[in-house]
Amino acid sequence: MKATETKLKGCFILEPAIFGDERGYFFESFNKEKFTEIIGKEVNFVQDNQSFSSKGVLRGLHYQTGEFAQAKLVRVLQGSVLDIAVDLRKGSPTFGQHVSVELSLENQKQLFVPRGFAHGFIVLSETATFFYKCDNFYNKESEGGIIYNDSTLNIDWKLPQNEFIISEKDTILPNLDNAKL
C-alpha cells in the first residue's frame, strides 16, 4: 500500500496495491498492522457507515467534538466523489486549511481523516456509494459542522453551485469563525 501524508499533518491518502487479471481484481482494503505503521499510531475502528447518493449531493462539513471526536477512513465503493478534510485543530499550523482528493471505484484511493478535522464530500458521478470506518461512536450532542461555502475555507467543490443537493441541516451550518470547536 502506498501512503502519502497530505499538507495536513496526520491526514493520509492511501492507495492499495491492486492485483488484476482477466477475472477482475483483488486488493487488501484494510490491514490493521500496515495501517498502524503508516499512520504511526493505533486507531481502533468501532463503526462502519455507508451512504448512497446522486450526482451533486454534498454532505458536510461535519465533525464530532470532545470525547466523541472521530477519525475516519473513507473510500468509494461505486462512482466518484470529491472528498474534503478541514483541519480544525486549534494551534495547528494548518488550522482552517483543507485538502481535497477524488475518491472513486477506479482509483480505489482512501483518505484517513484524523480526529480534529471536519469532513465532507460531493458526488461527481451519476451516483456513488461511500463507505467509512469510524474510531468512535456517533453522539448527537457532540456533532458540529461548518457551512460548505465558507469564504475563509475557499473550497472548490468542482461542480457548479446550482447542481448542489444539500440537506436543510447542512445549509444552516455556521462558518468557521462561529463554529463550536
Taking only the tens place, the pLDDT of each residue in 35-55 is: 999 999 999 999 999 999 999
pLDDT value of residue 144: 97
pLDDT value of residue 58: 98
Q: Please pick, among 63, 98, 119, 132, the residue that the annotation labels catalytic.
A: 132
pLDDT value of residue 55: 98
Q: What's the rounded mean pLDDT across residues 12-28?
A: 94
**132 assigned to active site:** yes
Q: Confidence band (pLDDT; 50, 70, 90) for 85?
A: very high
Residue written as cell 468501532? Answer: 46
pLDDT value of residue 125: 98
Residues 156, 151, 55, 86, CA torsion sign: positive
pLDDT value of residue 46: 97
pLDDT value of residue 108: 97
Q: What's the rounded mean pLDDT across residues 100-127?
A: 98
At 32, the amino acid letter reads K
Nearest to 134 by CA among 17, 33, 45: 45
**62 assigned to active site:** yes
| Cα(93)–Cα(123) distance, integer angstroms | 30
Contact 100, 8 (CB under 8 A): no
**DSSP label at 21?**
E
pLDDT value of residue 64: 97
Q: Confidence band (pLDDT; 50, 70, 90) for 150?
A: very high
Q: If you average pLDDT over every residue of the chain, what do you get?
A: 97
Q: Please pick, among 25, 62, 138, 148, the residue that the annotation labels catalytic.
A: 62
Query: Is 2.60.120.10 the CATH classification of the domain at 2-178?
Result: yes
